[in-house]
Structure formats: structure tokens, C-alpha cells
Chain A
Amino acid sequence: MPSSNQRIEIIRRTYYDSVTLMLVAKELLKTGGVSVASLSMGTEANYKIMGSGGFDLGGVDATPNDLIIAVKTDVPEGEREALLEGALEKAKEYLANPPGRKADSGGDYRPKSLDGALSVLPGANLALISVAGKYAGDVAMDCIGKGLNVMLYSDNVPVEKEVEIKKAAAEKGLLVMGPDCGTIIVRGVAMGMANACPTGPVSIVAAAGTGLQEVHVQLAKRGVGVLHGIGTGGRDVRREVGGIMCLQAVNALLADDEVKVLTVLGKPPAPEVEQKILQAVKAGKKPAVLGFIGGEAKGDSGGVFICRELEETAAVAAALAKGEDGARARENLFREYESLRQRAETIGRRKGFLRGLYSGGTLCYEGQLIARDILGPIRSNTPLEKEMKLEDSLKSEQHSMVDYGEDEFTQGRLHPMIDVSLRAERIYEEAKDPEVGVILFDVVLGYGCNDNPAAGLAEGIRKAQSAAGDRIAFVASICGVDTDPQNASEQRRILEELGVHVCESNARAARLAAMILEG
């Protein structure tokens, strides 16, 4: 009987943070002969991902509380046993002493509890919470009880808990930024995944992910800085939460004399919440831009500009900050978009379907809106309309865009802005589909993101190109600036050397990708 080319071990009731798991998996891949290495919690989503990675999961009975270590090899049969056994042993050694992590010693004592931290820093007024979602709400309540504003980085917080903590915070005049808030900017200081952009007169209220990052970057490209970027979490403007924190943040920024232009952006709120926000902004009598991507509100009025896209929002806000005409800035931008048709011609039209592979949720949403107007319905795991939901997020159908930052991909795994390997594999998988004509993706830079995402994606692109030849055009946008740790120009160079068509914004990339397939 031939020996298996895989080995799977389950470690029961064991939890490691996802950064450790990624570092160990990466280290195992450096071992000669290991072709695939996966360390993930036994969630349903991770079973699917491992299955699509070629693992035979028959008989594997891990629960979401168990760690699965899985390794595959492509060495000849006689060498497999020892290699796989050695790789599993190595994985356990690395877990005990994770590679690339600084030893927790040799310096000043760092408090491990909230009370301890407040003893050392009694003037602190903001806590960043990054713990497993089911505990995060209680930790947040504890912080609010101690008078701290909260950045809730954790996801998977139940919506009832979100409402509870936001109501408690609102009563005390505190902010809860999140849950699932990856980015905030306080007085020009970025926390979480954020770009190295200048400080300036604009302030932003956003769901707090890549929408905020994209507008932050687009403002910087126009020479305008940001003072505050307040994340509220994507669910805040839904009916269940009622926009509690969005309104709290809007009112705080309207009252701040240093804020010259207010920008509120994100996916469309519930209609009644959108109305409340619009009324609050209008009452503030401050130049303002609402950028609800694909929102219901239409028509600029009373000094408030209504935008439907992220770059448009930034272009109008930048013009207002410079004392220029916001409407004219928008017209100029849309004229530039028209010139993308010529670029599509130059690249060469392709036939088939568009496949978008995103790390940013708002970018994916915006990409769908733009591509839908040009190509028709787009399927997604986060679709514009329910009926366009992909049955299986790992299998594209017709025109599809997948948000890899959704919970299904991040439970017990790193966010795709940190670990690009899943998307790199998917790029290759999509290229094997003969009906695919364009692959579109985002590259998000900044503090906290992968230190070289373009290089991480490059392997997938090379394999895709060798599988598909010239049949597929690759289009990307880079959400970042040259002052970011990854250097946007350097990332662009890596992608362009591979023949990827890189655009200045997600709105442009989505348009160009769709235009290449148009007609």
C-alpha cells in the first residue's frame, strides 16, 4: 500500500494566535520537501480551505477549539514517512518557541492586565482590544467602566453585545470603535492597519477598514492630510445598532474646531440611519462629504456632498480642504475615468469572466458596484444583492468577487492583508478556469499589513501566467503611499514587472478590469 503524502495531527483544546500559526506554517515551508503546511483551528471554513488545498480530511474530527497541523509533501514515497514525521515534530517545537517572535524578557516589565496598565499609565483614555470575539465584549465593558474609549479590533462579537457596549459608552460620552475595526487615526497617529499619511484638516468617520485606508491614501495623493479617522465597525450603521457610534463620532468631530472638513463613508447604512447621519451632518454647518458606497442618498445639498465611491469622496473632500470647488473636482475625476477605456484598448480586450480577489471589504463592495454597471451581475460572498451570493466562496461562478477579509476566512486564520498566501493560491486556481479573462485584486499597504504583499502574490501570478498564458489580464490597485513601510512605488514595480496593470485607486482598477472585458 502506498504511503500517504500528507500527515494531519489534531491538538485538542489548544489555542494559538493566528500570527504564531502563520509564522510556524511559513517556517515549515522552508523545510525541504514540505509542499503545503497549514496550521489552523478546526472551523468549518478552515476544513473547506484545507480541502481546497488538496488535503484529504477523511476521519479528521477537530472542533473549532482544536488546532489542526497538516503537512503535505511531494518527495518520493520512500522518503515521505520520515519527512512528514519530522515536519510535525518541528511544528510542535516551533509552537513552543515561535520563530520570529521576540522573547518576552530582557526589558522593562510590561503590564498584562487592564488594572496593571492603568497603574502605569493613569492618563490613558483609549484601550485597544484584540482578544477572541466571545470575550471581547466583556473586556470592552470593563474598559468603558474605567472611562476608556475603545478600539475593538476583535471580530466575531455578537451584535447584541455590540449594542450593549455602544449604549453604555454613549451614556458616558465615550467611543467604541469597532468591533472588527482594523484602522483608526487619532490626532494623526494611526493605530492598527493604517498608512503613513500626513496630518491635516480632514477627519473621517468610517466602518474602519480599507474604506478608511483608501480615502486616507487618496487624500494624501492630493496633498491633504487627516486629523482623525474614527472607525465604528461595519455593523454600526445597520438597523440593529442604529448608527450609535457613527452619530457620536460625527457630533464629536463637528464640535472640534480643528476639523475643517468632515467625511463619513462606508457601505450603505440602513435608510433611517442614513437619514439621521445626513441630518446631523447638515446641522453641523461644516463642509462635509458623505461617501456611502452605492448609498440611497443622492444630490449635493446644503454644503454636504453625496458621493458613491471612495476616490470620488476623497477628491471632493480634498478640494473642499483646499478651498476649491468640490463639484468640479468630481467632474474632473470622472473625465479621467473615461480615459481608462483607451487604456483597456491598449492592454487588449479579453473574453470571459472577471474574478476579483480582495483583502478589503469596502474595496470589494465598491469593485462590485463599479463592475456591475459595466458588466452586469457580479457574484460574491459579500454580494450587492442576496441572490448574487456565491454558494461556495471558494468556487467562483461567472463574474465573481470574493472578500477574503470576511469572517469565514479569518476564524483562526490571519487577515488576508497580513497573510496573502490564500489569495496567491486562488489566483492560480482562477487562472486554470478557461472562462476567466481578467483577474482583479487589491494590495493594501501600511503598518500592520504584510511587509511585502506584492512579492507574496507574485508566486501565484507567475503560476497563473504559466497556466493561462496571455488569456488573462491582471489588474491591481495599491492602497498605499511611498512613506508606508512597504513603499507603494516598490510594490508597484514588483507587480508591473510581472505584467500586472496597476491603477492609482480601487475605483480605477475595477473600471479598467471591467472595461477590458466590455463588449
Chain B
Amino acid sequence: MTTKELDGPGLWTTSVGSFPKPDYIKKARSQFARKEISREDLLDLERRATREWIEFQTSIDTDLVVDGEMYRGDMVAFFAEELPGLEIGGLVRSYGNRYYRKPIATGPVGRDHAVTVDWWRYAQSLTERPVKGMLTGPYTICDWSFNEHYATRRDLVLDLAKVIRDEALDLERAGAKFIQIDEPAASTRMDELDLVIESMAIVTEPLSAHTITHICYGDFHNAYPKMLDIPVDQIDLEFANSDYSLLEEFSDDPFTKYIGFGVVDVHTHDQESVEAIAEGIRRGLKHIPANRMFVDPDCGLKTRTVEEAKTKLTNIKKAVDVVRAEL
């Protein structure tokens, strides 16, 4: 594919996707689960939280905004709830004391309505800055679900790819200029990286938006540089939580796409200093030019507190300003 080039100085600030939910959303979600409040009540609060996050991002002058996913439980279950053929299953552990409801593919997967477009429209109505369309990739939905219907994983992934492509097309029609198709599971199994590439091609082939994928916590050493064959304009990666060791891979095989450059660890209460982040960006700039670099946290910030997340985002913005001044 040909990369869609962007104008501007680069070092654009953005976020990977999720933000922490304020306490009133957590409370409302459990009240809704207990049928104590209506869906409309919950929606009102989710809209309010989305607005607050957009206002915050605007206040720190974020270049590429996300809606923060106030209305999503998790990135796979959210789609599983809306797509025919997928059901929400029981609780399984992800790490530590964190659990999620793992979906089950119980029949042919399809799509009978747009899942993310209304939220994207709402978020975009609140800001002049571009808002990312946020989708979960077909490979990750498959990998993070049980499969009781399809004979092979490939069959399930390819059906999901058509569903996500249709959703991406709807986002594009609504006006989204940046569409992120997350594939955190992409670097899990080297023997299935071809399937990641094949399914992503189905999703991105008809799109004219700038496409992004986020990949994390995998066997990066073995997935790189083949990962560059995933047909998207930008790959978003975590650097801070491995002290930027991923950059070593770029010495032998240059990174050829736009990069989403993760500069704060999302799984620690500790705050990286502005100078530490700035130094991380400088290290990145030895391998990737500024005008190909987006700067963001390592991953979604939803496991932090609201205050922790805001501090991390503010520090990123300050560090970017420091480094921009040096360019």
C-alpha cells in the first residue's frame, strides 16, 4: 500500500484510545447492571465524561484526539456485545487482579448496524481537532474470544475482517480522517502474523483515511521487521515500559511507517518526568524523523486514575514542546 502522507512539523500528540472512567461512570455502570438506572441515564453520563475528556485534551493542546472510550467495558467485549455471532462469556483473568468477560463465537459473525459511528460523531462535534475512529482488529477479536463455531481461527478472523471493514467504511463516510484498528494480539504468534496482515488488508484496502494499528506486549523481537508488512500507515508501539529497548531493532531494519511512539508506562502509578520523556523522544528521533512521529502513552490509560492519566498526558505534551523547540 502507499502511505498517506501528512503535512505539518510532526511530533503530534495523541493517545492510544482508552482513558480512566471517572467515579460517576463506574458507579453508573454498576447501577445500570443492577437495573437501577436506565440506559438513557447511563448514556447521559457517558456523554458528559466524553465531553470532559475532549475538553481536557483540547486544554493541553492535543493534536489528535480520542473519545476516551467511556462507553466501552473493554475493547473486545464492546464489539462482541453488538455483533451477531458473538456472545459475552464468563469472567477470566487478564493479569493481577484484573478480569474481563471473554466473548464466545457461537455462530457466523456479522454486523447489522454501525457500532462506533454515533460515538465518533458525538466526539467530533465537540472539537475542531480530528478525532480518531477506534476499532478493534479482527485478529485480536478472534484471539481474545473463545471459538465454538468456526472450524479454524482463520475462518473466524476473515469473517471478522469484513465486519470491521464495513465499520471502518461507515466511520470514513461520517468524516473520520484517522482510523485506528487495534491489534494488540498481533505479535503473539509468529506463525499467524501472515493472518494478521491478510485480515488487515481486507479492512484497510478500501479506506482513504490515515490508518493506524496499535500492537503491544508481544514477541516484538521476532515480529519485527515483518510487522511492517501490516498494511496501515502508522504502527503505534510501547517504548517506555521496556526503557526504549525496542529502538535497538530499528538499527538493523529501519522503521518505514509513521510511528505512534509510546513514552509513558500505563501500568505504573509512577510519573515519568518531563525530561525523561523528552529524552525518550530524542532517542526515538535518532531512528524516526519528527514528521513521521506521533507521541502518546504506551497503551490505553484506562487502568490509571483520572488524575494519574491527566498528569501523564500533560507531561507528554510538555516534553514534546521541549523537544520541538530543539528541532
Q: Do A and B bind each other?
A: no
Interface on A for B, CB 8 Å cutoff? Answer: none
Spell out B's residues near A (CB within 8 Å): none
